[in-house]
Structure formats: C-alpha cells, structure tokens
Structure 1
C-alpha cells in the first residue's frame, strides 16, 4: 500500500511538472517570444522547483525526451547540410579557441572575485559536459553543490537569453519552415524504434549525450538517405519543447534558496562572460562564412545539446551544423576536464606542501 501511495505521488508530481511547463510555454508563446514553448516551460518549472513544489521528470521519461529531441533534430536537418561542410573548419577552430578563453577567464574570475577554491571555480567554468564535470567533482575536486548550481544557471540562462536575443538583437533569424507533409504514425513508430536502438548503442559505447546523439544520427542518416522527407508533426514538436523545458527546470530540485543565492551571482557573471565571449567569436566567424549569425552562435554556444538543439529547431536553423559543433565541444571537453582537474590537484598539493 505505501508503494502504491508513493507511486501515485510520483505520477501526480510528474503531471504537475508537465502542466506547469506547458502553462509557462503557452504564456511565452502567447506573448510572441521565439521558442516560447521551450523557454517559458523551463522558466516556469525552475520557479516552481525553487518554490518547493515537487518537480519530477523520471529517468525513463528523460530518455523519451532525449529520443524526441534527437528525432526532431534529425528531421530538421537541411538537405544541403553536407554541401556546407567546407565552411565548418573555421567555426570549429573558433570553438576550440573560445573554450580555452572561457575556462581560463571565468575560472580566474570565480577564484579571484568570488574566492572559490580552484577546483570549484574551474569545474564550474567548463561550458558543458555536466555529467562528466560532476563525476570529477565526486572524486573530491571542488564543491559539487556549488558547481551544479553554477552549471544549471548557465543552461537556464542560455535557454532564456537566446530567444529574447532573437527578438531584440539585430541578427538574422528565421521562422521554422512550414512543412507540406508530416510523418505518418507508422513512420514515426519505425523512426522512433531505429532512434532508440541507435541511442542505446551510443550509450553502450559511452558516447557523451548518447541517447540524443544516437537518435539524431539515426534520424539524420535516414533523412539524408532518402528514407523520408516529411517533417515531425507540430503537436509532437510542441510536446518535445514542453518536455525539454520541464527537464531543464527540474534540475533545480533539491537546491535550497540559500545555496542558490550563494552561488547565483558568480554563476550569472560567469554566464554573462561566457555569452560575451561566444558572441564575439560568432561575429568573427560570421565575417568569414556565409551563415546566419544565430546559427553560428548556437553552434558555438556553451549550452546543453538538448536545449540548443531544440532552440535550433524552433528558430529554423540547420541542426546538423549545431549538433556537429556540440559533439566536437563535448569531445574537446572530454580531454580538457580531466587535464584541468589533474592540474588543479597538483597545484593544491603544491600549495599544501609550501604551507607545511
């Protein structure tokens, strides 16, 4: 009987989370904000979580979200994506340079201005790969609670800032193309099955964000291979945005207001610095390649793959370009994070040795 009660509470909490995300998304969409379903949902669930409401998205449902995002990104890939590969080396080089600048600048700022220990400061400064960052923190490098707050603030602020920037900044952005045909239920089921299988393989191979990337790889391969040309049904795309908003917002569950306020200022400033660096790099790349500024920005952005991919869909950009750059970003971070953690550990040992 208690197990049934817990199960009922969990179901009600999940339904409440989705309802709040949908309500927030609906309001943002009504106000005419780009990517309103995603941005509004993320903000609404964040506020609810910080207010103490039980915002829950179980692991099983999170995997459903990841598969839907991957499917949507694959279905949104531009048919001429492969022809644009020649211009990618410039933006990929900019991506590598900006990662070094972001980690060095924000890590230094958090250490010197906010007096965080080097482990906490530099692990908080990495733009992405949160699961890997937290895995390193769990070994005793830095303060895990402060790191997760700063990192989640980064993801939330980017999800909110990008659509608002698309309204107020003088940059090119596009309305998502209106599809003339949509995938049938049978096509959706077959595509979903292939995407799930690919996601599981990627996860088994320990690929970062494996479920999202596996699903996208399968959906992209099927589209470029000519197995389908139709778009995802609009209600399913909206549901994907609502679920993604709930996923982002639910990451604030368990963080007390005291903890949040203690790390929020540093997190906001670090995010502002990161956004400024990415924006300057995107403007530079934009002078050299013929692509919309917003697409370049999302490709270079330090946001989570699922959030930036969903924004790319909502704003009508080429998701192949965005996803490829995020894959490279995660790959670069896979090498950089442990290297910096080892460096921080050695510096801490050196400092302790000099005091003894």
Structure 2
C-alpha cells in the first residue's frame, strides 16, 4: 500500500487524538477535575466546529469502549455489592426523572422552538442515541436537528460534572493510590476476556455492548479474586484521551449554521435536564448514604462511556453508575417506541381533522 495514501487516511485520526491530548494537558495544568477527559472533549469539539476534519474510526472507537469498560471494572470496589440494598430508592428516582425530562423538554422544544412533535420528543430522550437516530432515519423528525441537540446534551453533561466539583459542594474522592499495577501479561489476558464478552454483548444487541461487556468481564474477574491490581496510570490517561476525542468527534460534519440553529434549544433542554437530575439526585441523597456526586452521575443521562470515565476520575463507585445507566437504557428501549406511536397517532388524528375541515 502507498505510504502517502496511508498517511492521508490516518492523518485526521492522528490529528484528532493530538488535539484531544493537547486539550487534556491544558485542563490538567489548570488543575481541573477529570482534565484529560473534559479538556479533550472541549478541544476536539472546538476543532470540529472550526472546520478541522476530526475522525474516530469505528475500530478505534471500539478500542476506546473496551478500555473504558476495563477501567470501570478494575475500579469497582470489592464491597460495591453491599450498596445494592439502597438501589431501589435511586431507581425510583431514575424513573421519575426520565418521565419529567421527556415530558418537559419535549413540550418546551415543541412549544417555544416550534419543532414538530417527532423532532421535539426524539431530541428530549435522555440517551439511547443510536436507537433514536435509527427511528429518525426512518422518517420521524428532523435527523440533523435531533443529532445536534443530543450531542450538545452529551458534551454539556461531560463538562458540567467536573465544573460542578470545583464550584459546587459536590464531594469527589481521589481513588486510593494503588500500590501495584496489572502486568503486561495480566493486561493482555484481561483485554482478551473483555473483547470476547464485548463481542457477545454486541452480538446480542446489548446497548453499549463493548463498554458493558468489557466491564462485566473485568468486574467478574476482580470480584472473583483473579486480580486485585490497578490499571496502569498511562493506560487510564490514554483511555481518557480517546474518550474525549470520541465525544468531541460527534460534532464532525455539523456546520456552524446547523449548530447555531439548534444550539439554543439544545442548551436550554440540557439545562432543564441538569436541573431535573440535580433536584432528583438531591432528594435521593437525603434517603440513601451515598455521595451526592455519585448519585448524580448514576442518574445523569450522559453517554455511558463519558459518565463511566468521569466516575473513575472522581473516585466514585463505577458499579452503581453503570447499573443505573444500563437500567436507563432498558427503560428507554420501551419508552421511545411507545412515545413514537403516540406521536404518530396524534399526527394521524390531526390530519383527519384537517380533512374533515376541508370537507365542511
């Protein structure tokens, strides 16, 4: 293969990773929490909006997903399962917040931004982006506006948590300094298991299959006593850089005009989402003995990979966070088609009324 063509094909990806690493480095120098992740996501987003060709190939994206799942599994505390008794309260809060977010933000986008019901409500769903975009591609709503609003949500939530730890009384805990790290042999064996289980999850069409499959394998191995060592710090840093690049690269192909036309509604919808999550998380924190920030991350409707990476960076229990995000995705799997059917019925009824009015 021509080396020049190989370089041309890989250059956008290398540049994207370099921008993410540079943004993360600056954020770390400024002392921001989760700097590698937040700084990388912001830098790549800014580069994409400035017209730079950012790119994360599918294979590299899958590598990032596996590394995130491995890191989350390796960060699970041995006593994590003891927290399960308090989960029903937080799960009830999760159901409540989903109803409020979908109802209120969907209504707001339709009422004040004149979006059609399909676009408004598909934009309001807090997660399951691939499912939402699949329905949009089938002819429900404006796919371009939906993706912009949804990506704004993911980016803003990734930024909101680290900033909140600086300016708000949100507890965050530095992970205990590890005394030993996984060896090369252990890492390769663990990675092989994570990839294998991830492929099974993907084959079974489990949402975020590589992330959840890798985490399941890494968690089972750790709780089963197969290893107790931590992930090497450089590998965790690489994971954050890849995740930042992944989040920012979702803005690829979106023009500034398209962004600006949908940004106002997206920012307001995300602000409403953050407010609802914060109120519900505070209510849950009054009933269970957990850090507010951990509850917030578990209930936050951000991308699983982003929220999981933030949980690692801020020292929270990743098992709690991952479990709540999985259940959120399962709930949305039923909620999304149900709401779409209701929208279709409403549209059909409106058309029928218009036809009757014409006849009269």
TM-score (norm 1): 0.98
Query: Relative to structure 2, which stretch is displaced further, 237-246 or 170-179?
Result: 170-179
Q: Residue deviations 1:188-221, cap 9 Å, x none?
A: 0000000000000000001000010000000000
Do residues 71 (structure 1) and 77 (structure 2) align?
no
- Structure 2 residue aligned with 1:163: 162
1:290-329 equivalent positions in 2, closer than 5 A: 290-329=289-328
Do residues 251 (structure 1) and 250 (structure 2) align?
yes
Whole-angstrom CA distance in 1 between matches of 2:12 and 2:167: 36
Do residues 210 (structure 1) and 209 (structure 2) align?
yes
Deviation at 1:4, TM superposition (A): 6.0
Whole-angstrom CA distance in 1 between matches of 2:332 and 2:350: 26
Secondary structure of the structure 2 residue equivalent to 1:172 = coil
Whole-angstrom CA distance in 1 between matches of 2:339 and 2:257: 29
Secondary structure of the structure 1 residue equivalent to 2:56 = coil
- Structure 2 residue aligned with 1:112: 111
Whole-angstrom CA distance in 1 between matches of 2:256 and 2:5: 26
Whole-angstrom CA distance in 1 between matches of 2:67 and 2:237: 11
Deviation at 1:8, TM superposition (A): 2.1
Q: Residue deviations 1:73-115, cap 9 Å, x none?
A: 0000011011111000100111011100000000000000100
- Structure 1 residue aligned with 2:358: none
Q: Residue deviations 1:153-180, cap 9 Å, x none?
A: 0000011111000111012111122111
Kept in 2, the 8 Å contact 1:298–1:322? The answer is yes
Kept in 2, the 8 Å contact 1:10–1:56? The answer is no
- Structure 2 residue aligned with 1:31: 30
- Structure 2 residue aligned with 1:261: 260
Deviation at 1:10, TM superposition (A): 2.3
Do residues 188 (structure 1) and 177 (structure 2) align?
no
- Structure 2 residue aligned with 1:61: 60
- Structure 2 residue aligned with 1:287: 286
Kept in 2, the 8 Å contact 1:70–1:219? The answer is yes
Query: Relative to structure 2, which stretch is displaced further, 239-248 or 169-178?
Result: 169-178
Gaps of 5+ in 2: 356-360
Whole-angstrom CA distance in 2 between matches of 1:295 and 1:232: 21
Kept in 2, the 8 Å contact 1:154–1:303? The answer is yes
Kept in 2, the 8 Å contact 1:38–1:241? The answer is yes
- Structure 2 residue aligned with 1:275: 274
Deviation at 1:6, TM superposition (A): 4.6
- Structure 1 residue aligned with 2:18: 19
Whole-angstrom CA distance in 2 between matches of 1:273 and 1:26: 31
- Structure 2 residue aligned with 1:88: 87
Whole-angstrom CA distance in 2 between matches of 1:175 and 1:263: 37
Do residues 99 (structure 1) and 95 (structure 2) align?
no
Whole-angstrom CA distance in 1 between matches of 2:25 and 2:99: 38
- Structure 1 residue aligned with 2:235: 236
Kept in 2, the 8 Å contact 1:21–1:245? The answer is yes
Q: Residue deviations 1:118-139, cap 9 Å, x none?
A: 0000000000000000001111
Secondary structure of the structure 2 residue equivalent to 1:174 = coil
Whole-angstrom CA distance in 1 between matches of 2:55 and 2:280: 37
What CA RMSD, in Å, does the superposition of the two structures yield over aligned residues? 0.9
Whole-angstrom CA distance in 2 between matches of 1:248 and 1:352: 40
- Structure 2 residue aligned with 1:333: 332
Deviation at 1:9, TM superposition (A): 1.6
Whole-angstrom CA distance in 2 between matches of 1:155 and 1:7: 32
Deviation at 1:350, TM superposition (A): 1.1
- Structure 2 residue aligned with 1:134: 133
Whole-angstrom CA distance in 2 between matches of 1:213 and 1:10: 30
- Structure 2 residue aligned with 1:143: 142
Q: Residue deviations 1:220-276, cap 9 Å, x none?
A: 000000000000000000000000000000000000000000000000000000000
Whole-angstrom CA distance in 1 between matches of 2:316 and 2:258: 37
